[in-house]
Amino acid sequence: MEHPPADPNLNLEIFSLGKRSIASPLVRYKQGVSFIRDGRRMLMDLDRDKVREALDKGQEPPSLELAGPRDKIYFDPTKTKAAIVACGGLCPGINSVVRSIVLELHYNYGVRNILGIKFGLEGFIPEYGHELMELNPEVVVNIHGRGGCFLGMSRGPQDIEEVVDAIERLNISLLFTIGGDGTLRASNKICAEVHERGLKTAVVAIPKTIDNDIAYVARTFGFDSAVAAATQAIASAHNEAISLPHGIGLVKVMGRYAGFVAAHATLALAEVNFCLIPEVPFDLEGDNGLLAHVLERTVERGHAVILVAEGAGQNLIGEGELKKDASGNVLLHDIGIFLRDRIKDYFLKKGISLNLKYIDPSYMIRSVAANPIDRIYCGFLGQHAVHAGMAGKSRLMVSSWNGNFVHVPLEVCTKGVKRVDPGGQLWRSVREVTGQGRLISG
């Protein structure tokens, strides 16, 4: 996997609102609570040679602050008002994160004033007319078994000053944001405006994306559930393909800039013969292009299964500037439809019969309920987000990194995206499983 480089010059310190002077309510647990001191940090890169290189240069290897409860907290729970907002598109596990935050705030910290912001950042803007939701354990007790987002979500930039106006008007002390790279950038802008106004509001982000492409996160929540759902679509495509003469199953999954879902689903089921991702270019035409290989495979073995990430092969489809959605994401050409039609035309020109079934389960995948592994992970993320916020830490994203939960400054995690490394172990394993080789002619 490729993350932006762990630059020794990055400022990885976590911003704090002020001195922590209130004993944590968690001290009532005589056993089982290990408080974390702020000096504890985890190395970003565990490669011995890179650590040694930094030390030889007299530099401290880049490290991230360890997440977890602090023995002293900043906010008085009896006077704290928290708010939770989810933005962007659906992803398995959002409800589990919300539930975890609410239960941790209510039961372990004694915070009784928790608001749910409806339909993303729109919920802060009066003109949209979205009502606030009061959250407590009774409201969220069963939501973790559902798909979707019971708070509602929306895309699109909102006026940050208006958002902070609402935060100030509502006297919100803690804001938890759940979302992808756009939400992380918006959270960073909210922090800047909050600081400019001198407000004592902590902003803690929980990274969300099915694509698993957020920098400095080992695995985003919902990814495991998405891969599991994708394998069901692949299994259906394989069953269709083997049940018909010259059968081809073509499946498109999410992955705008990174092919992690496609790569992992390929490895999980091992029924895929061609896996196409944005990070690895491929040709259609020519002796070594995709069409020739698909034809050869189908004629020799009687069937083929093709899995393509939505961002793959965009250079093969049309020209001109692409439009963007409300969140600023590029509206991609539909690679699934494009490949379906091109494969059919190619077989027809070769005079070979074809039974091709195209499956696009994208919206089914992102709206399913989180599986048990993701629910557990979401629980950890929600708890650590609360620990950070109650300690007065802000401008951060809670992340899983090298086997630990850590705090990553928002300024750092928004500098780039994580992608599949074409020369790395993951893609090598995919090529070994599929046997597809290098689909580039010439």
Tell me what percent of the residues of the chain surpass a pLDDT of 70: 94
Domain count, the chain: 2
Q: What is the pLDDT of residues 161-205, one digit of tens each?
A: 999 999 999 999 999 999 999 999 999 999 999 999 999 999 999
Task: Indicate the pLDDT class of residue 131, thresholds 50, 70 and 90.
Answer: very high
Same structural domain, 203 and 110: yes
**pLDDT confidence bin for 329, thresholds 50/70/90:** low
Query: What pLDDT score was predicted for residue 299?
Result: 95
Same domain, yes or no, for 194 and 76? yes
pLDDT at 319 over 70: no
pLDDT at 440: 87
Mean pLDDT of the chain: 93
Indicate whether 191 and 169 sit together in one domain: yes
- How many Å apart are CA 358 and CA 353, to the nearest integer? 16
Residues 47 and 87 in one domain: yes
pLDDT band at 28; cut points 50, 70, 90? confident
Helix (H) or strand (E) segment spanning residue 298: helix 290-301
Task: Indicate whether 332 belongs to any domain.
Answer: yes
- Beta-carbon contacts of residue 192 (< 8 Å; ≥ 6 apart): none
Q: Compute the average pLDDT of residues 341-361.
A: 96
**Residue 206 pLDDT > 70:** yes
Q: Which of 49, 56, 211, 341 is catalytic?
A: 211
In a domain, 294, yes or no: yes
Q: Average pLDDT, stretch 111-140?
A: 97
Mean pLDDT value across residues 239-249: 96
Confirm whether pTM is higher than 0.85. yes
Same domain for 107 and 138? yes
Q: Any idea which of 107-116, 215-224, 317-326 has the lowest mean pLDDT?
A: 317-326
Measured from the Cβ of residue 287, the count of other Cβ atoms closer than 10 Å reads 10
Backbone angles phi, psi at 177, to 5 degrees: -110, 135
Residues 210, 238, single domain; the answer is: no
* 281 and 165 in a common domain: no
Q: Let me know if residue 20 belongs to a domain.
A: yes
**pLDDT over 90 percentage in the chain:** 82
How far is CA 331 from each of CA 30, 91, 251, rounded to the nearest angstrom?
A: 54, 19, 19
- d(Cα 345, Cα 439) in Å, to the nearest integer? 19
Residue 418 placed within a domain: no
Q: If we measure between CA atoms, which residue out of 257, 271, 237 comes closest to residue 312? A: 257
Q: Could you tell me which residue, 28 or 23, shows the higher pLDDT?
A: 23
Q: What are phi and psi of 428, to 5 degrees?
A: -60, -40
**Contact between 252 and 308 (Cβ < 8 Å):** yes
- Assign residue 284 the CATH number of its domain: 3.40.50.460
| 238 has a pLDDT exceeding 80 | yes
Q: Classify residue 120 by its DSSP letter.
A: G
Same domain? For 173 and 255 the reply is: no
How sure is the predictor about 272, in pLDDT bands with cuts at 50, 70 and 90? very high
Task: Examine the pLDDT at 8 and tell me if it is beyond 70.
Answer: no
Scanning the structure block, which residue is given the tokens 């059968």?
247
Q: What is the pLDDT of residues 364-419, one digit of tens each?
A: 899 999 999 999 999 999 999 999 999 999 999 999 999 999 999 999 998 888 99
Whether 100 is covered by a domain: the verdict is: yes
Query: At 84, which CATH number?
Result: 3.40.50.450
Instruction: Decide if pLDDT at 48 tops 80.
Output: yes
Across 17-40, average pLDDT: 86
Domain annotation covers residue 375 = yes
The reply to whether 126 and 247 lie within a common domain is: no
Asked if residue 294 has pLDDT above 80, the reply is yes
* Chain centroid, CA 438 distance in Å: 28
Please indicate, yes or no, whether residues 249 and 134 belong to a single structural domain of this protein: no
Judgement on whether residues 350 and 397 belong to the same structural domain of the protein: no
Enclosing domain of residue 290: 226-367+423-434
pLDDT of 220 over the 80 cut? yes
pLDDT digits (tens, 9 = 90+) for 59-88: 889 999 999 999 999 999 999 999 999 999
pLDDT band at 38 (very low <50, low <70, confident <90, very high): confident
Asked whether residue 103 is domain-assigned, the answer is yes
Beta strands of 247-368 (E only): which ranges? Answer: 247-253, 274-276, 303-309, 355-359
Predicted local distance difference test score (pLDDT) of residue 339? 97
| Residue 3 within a domain | no
Q: Is 211 a catalytic residue?
A: yes
Evaluate whether 67 touches 380 at the Cβ level (below 8 Å): no
Is the CB of residue 240 less than 8 Å from the CB of residue 205? no
Query: What would the two tokens of residue 336 be?
Result: 């699934």
| 290 in the same domain as 176 | no
